[in-house]
Structure 1
Amino acid sequence: MRGFVWLDHPLNLSTPSSPSHPIPKLSSNTSSLPYSHKHGNRAALRLSRIVSDSLRLNLPDIRWFVMCDDDTVFLPDNLLHVLSHFDHTQPYYIGSLSESHLQNIYFSYSMAYGGAGFAISYPLAVSLSRIQDQCLHRYPALYGSDDRIQACMAELGVPLTRHPGFHQYDVYGDLLGLLAAHPVAPLVSLHHLDVVNPIFPSSPSRVSALRRLFSGPVSLDSPATMQQSICYDKSNQWTVSVSWGFVIQILRGFMSPREMEMPARTFLNWYRRADYTAYAFNTRPVARNPCQRPVYYYLSSSSYDVRLRTTVTAYERHRDAQPACRWRIANPSQHVDTVIVYKKPDPDLWNRAPRRNCCRVKPVGKGDGERTMTIDVGVCRDGEISEI
């Protein structure tokens, strides 16, 4: 992988940049191209030409061009794995939509959103570069760079190949509901992290929260990061949802897998309305009944056990207020402080047909001071299901 940061103006650096920093490049002049959107910015023209500018660098052995915003985070191994499933000698345009129904209506349901990032195969980049300036002349009224790219793709006759691992995240608030019920697909990108809460509430900043994720789960088992498993502690009548490397949810009572794999609305729409019809996917409301509110256990540490050849991730209870509940079902927060998850790395996870991993809950210890739940996560055995 090789990367560049494309700028509108040259940088005046007082100190030399680090060798580990991406190389800055100046995007090509677009003053001759028309732009007429009242609320937009002409920088969209420069951005839309970055793929063509990158092509003109004549770098050797290029298969894909991947474009994203400066507030986008990629899981590189997952990105490479996703792209490896496509023939790079064919014209592919790969990305995803916005989570906001209105955003998709205003812009396009056929467009790869630039914040989530999108990939263009080398031969398609060559075709795009040949027609792009003429194409840009025909669409002065469009708002951004990504809708201009899609307009040119429409002229080339290349449709969007959607992949649910690219995340635009046109939302505000807490990504918990979305990440804890991630689609059964590799997590590829995260966007708009500057406008949402840190993914780990105990982290002092968004960056430190990301470092916790990347230094542990992503480095140990990138394909499995954020993947959901659903199981049940039948002795305690609890529903357990494991979002590996991120959070464990324990709920009193039994909730079906159909409900648990549906994101809870812990976030607001891009237009800041608490409107369940505003999303381009199914969601479920945050529980109002205090007895149905999950107890959350966020990742606190991660390691690899050489002897057992398995990852060991620990999750500590989030110390939020627990409202009173009159159910006779035991309160998880009064019995479990820590959840330990054992999971063997599975590099072939996405080489098989998509399927959630299965999880198995071991009984919570009854000894003095024993407040730890242990869970085993792995490939489902023959005939194994998430059964209530």
Structure 2
Amino acid sequence: MKKEGKPPLPKLLLSLFLFLLSLTSLFYTLKLATPSPCRDEPFPSTSRQLASSPPPSPQKTGIHHLVFGIAASAKLWDQRKNYIKLWFKPEESMRGVVWLDKEVPAAAGDAEGLPPIRISGDTSQFKYTNKQGHRSALRISRIVSETLRMGLADVRWFVMGDDDTVFVTENLVRVLNGYDHREYYYIGGVSESHLQNIYFSYGMAYGGGGFAISYGLAVALEGMQDRCMRRYPGLYGSDDRIQACMAELGVPLTRHLGFHQFDVYGNLFGLLAAHPVTPLVSLHHLDIVEPIFPNVTRLQALHRLALPTKLDSAALMQQSICYDKSRAWTVSVSWGYAVQVFRGTFSPREIEMPARTFLNWYKKTDYTAYAFNTRPVSRNPCQMPFVFYLSNARVDPGRTDSTVSEYVRHRGNRPHCKWKMASPEDVDYVVVEKRRDTNLWDRAPRRNCCRVKETTRKGRMVVDVGLCGEGEITEL
């Protein structure tokens, strides 16, 4: 038998290394299996991020978070200031500035109900080479930047508009609450004119209809706008200069159908009676179009609209479509504005299209000139709607969460209809009962439903408007 000697040195070191490795593994296994006592040391960064609660949501945007920059002209100020007084309410914490091209005489009472007036900064250092436009576009395009430099506190949004623009401020706040003011947002609407959008841009917010710029984007715009403006001396207006700078910043237009430029002429009835399913935010070019109610002035018409706006701004101009099946009538309610009653049954697809009661921006009847679908005004006297305009609105004394609005038939000259069927000319007025819904725009957009109710009173029609019930649809 061979006598064993001492193991070689390398084998001895290897055995020792394996032994120490086993002890280390056993130590960490026991450590992980034993609950550790509470410690004050911080968690690793990854664990801290997973364990911490999300940051608190910022307070909802209110009217006091907005600042309006209103582009005005000294030449038209005496007339246009009355539009601003319709919607601007300093007593409701609204903030804004009217930017004029030069000083205007102060009239008695102007300080009440109007924002403070400022004179726009000098723009003589900027070139303007557009032969069809006016240099005032330069100063107007800088209104957001100049308003930002005023250093007002707690501003989230800068809202641009003209002196002949009327805002529904409650709906504007509803819209802006859906966006984070700390991000870069440029929100507005395009023109109703297809050709206008081709000449300028479908990616441009039209300033007359109004647009909103988030605070974060306003800071970025102010930092580069003067340099940006020098690159575009040939542009026509202020809004295309804003959009050119937005393109350089890489910010697209967030379109909202409630901003209305109204690049049309004539009667807005067809547009307003078939308003899109979205909050009504603004109305523009009110000096150009006819009064929105017949037989009154423009200002009187807008004052009438203020009553339903105060009662239920979320529902203003929202269309509902239903049928009086016993008499084969189609009923369209534009809440707070008008009711239409048609002989016969028309599909919702047809009634939700605006009737062409207006002319396009180039004063032609060409329906291809619009950037949306329209339908012709019927020439058949039996298919012409009977129109009932808002005359009054109030809170229902029996239910304080509900409203009652009344609409009186417009008695214009009508051609004789030979159809042997019940005629809406026997109806003198329509009563619309509606429950207020402040959360209307917190849900997915959908038209309200309406139902024609039975009534024994002669010359009266009663319609109930509200959320659609389970399975309720507008069927012919």
- Larger CA Rg, structure 1 vs 2: 2
Q: Distance in 2 between matches of 1:13 and 1:327?
A: 61
Partner of 1:351: 442
CA distance in 2, matches of 1:243, 1:274: 25
2:410 pairs with one of 318, 335, 340: 318
Alpha-carbon distance in structure 1 between the residues aligned to 2:238 and 2:433: 44
TM-aligned CA distance change 1:15 to 1:211, over 3 Å = closer
SS in 2 for 1:113: coil
| Residue aligning to 1:156 | 249
Q: What's the counterpart of residue 92 of structure 1?
A: 185
Letter in 1 for 2:140: L
Q: Is the 8 A contact 1:93 1:161 kept in 2?
A: yes
CA contact (8 A) 1:253 1:329 kept: no
Decide which of 313, 319, 322 is 1:231's aligned counterpart.
Answer: 322
Structure 1 residue 329, shift from structure 2 partner: 2.0
1:285 lines up with 2:376 in the alignment: yes
The alpha carbon displacement at 1:14 in A equals: 5.8
Distance 1:3 1:344 in 2: 33
Paired amino acid for 2:136: A
Query: By how many angstroms is 1:331 displaced?
Result: 1.4
Q: Deviations over 1:180-237 (max 9, x none)?
A: 000000000000011111111132x0000000001x1100000000000000000000
Question: Aligned pair 1:177/2:265, yes or no?
Answer: no
Counterpart Cα distance in 2 of 1:185 and 1:289: 31
Determine the C-alpha separation between the residues in 2 that align with 1:127 and 1:114. 19
Q: Quick one: distance in 2 between partners of 1:198 and 1:19?
A: 25
The runs of 4+ residues in structure 1 deviating greater than 4 Å are: none
Distance 1:14 1:255, change over 3 A: closer
Looking at structure 2, the residues matched to 234 and 186 of structure 1 have their Cα atoms a distance apart, in angstroms, of: 30
Unpaired runs of 5+ residues, structure 1, are none
Aligned pair partner of 1:120 in 195, 198, 213: 213
1:382 is paired with a residue whose SS is coil
Tell me which residue corresponds to 1:211.
303
Q: 1:338 and 2:426 equivalent?
A: no
SS in 2 for 1:21: coil
The whole-number CA distance in structure 2 between the counterparts of 1:279 and 1:80 is 28
Q: Distance in 2 between the 1:226 and 1:89 partners?
A: 31
Alignment of 1:46-61 (within 5 A): 46-61=139-154
Cα RMSD of the aligned pairs, angstroms, is 1.0
How many residue pairs get matched? 382
C-alpha change, 1:43 and 1:299, in structure 2 (3 Å) is same
The equivalent position to 2:129 in structure 1, one of 33, 36, 50, is: 36
Alignment partners' CA distance in 2, 1:325 and 1:363: 26
SS at match of 2:212: strand
Q: TM-score, normalised by structure 2?
A: 0.79
Q: Which residue of 2 aligns with 1:222?
A: 313
- Specify the SS of the correspondent of 2:229: helix
Match of 1:82 in 2: 175
In structure 2, what is the Cα distance between the partners aligned to 1:17 and 1:72? 18
2:465 to 348, 365, 377: 377
TM-score in terms of structure 1 length: 0.97
Alpha-carbon shift at residue 11 of structure 1 (Å): 2.5
Conserved 8 A contact 1:364-1:371: no
Task: Compare 18-27 and 83-92 and name the one that shifted more.
Answer: 18-27
Higher helix share: 2
Cα distance, 1:248 vs structure 2? 0.3
TM superposition shift of 1:20: 2.4
Question: Matches of 2:140 and 2:239 in 1, distance apart?
Answer: 8
Amino acid of the residue matched to residue 32 of structure 1? Answer: Q
Deviation by residue 1:38-77 (Cα, 9 ceiling, x = unmatched): 0110000000000000000000000000001111000010
Q: Which position in structure 2 is the counterpart of 1:199?
A: 292
**In the alignment, which residue of structure 2 is the partner of 1:143?**
236
Decide which of 345, 357, 361 is 1:254's aligned counterpart: 345
Give yes or no for the alignment of 1:298 onto 2:389. Answer: yes
The residue number in structure 2 matching 1:73 is 166
Question: Is the Cα contact below 8 Å between 1:223 and 1:346 reproduced in 2?
Answer: yes
CA gap 1:76/1:251 in 2 versus in 1, 3 angstroms: same
Per-residue CA deviation, residues 268-290 of structure 1 (Å, 9 max, x unaligned), is: 00100001000000000000111
Alpha-carbon offset, residue 15 of structure 1: 4.6
Shift of 1:363: 2.9
Return the alpha-carbon distance in structure 1 between the equivalents of residues 140 and 111 of structure 2. Answer: 25
Letter in 2 for 1:380: C
C-alpha displacement of 1:305: 1.4
In structure 2, C-alpha distance between the alignment counterparts of 1:343 and 1:14, rounded to whole Å: 42
Give secondary structure in 2 for the equivalent of 1:155: helix
The one-letter amino acid of 1:379's match is: L
Sequence identity percentage: 63
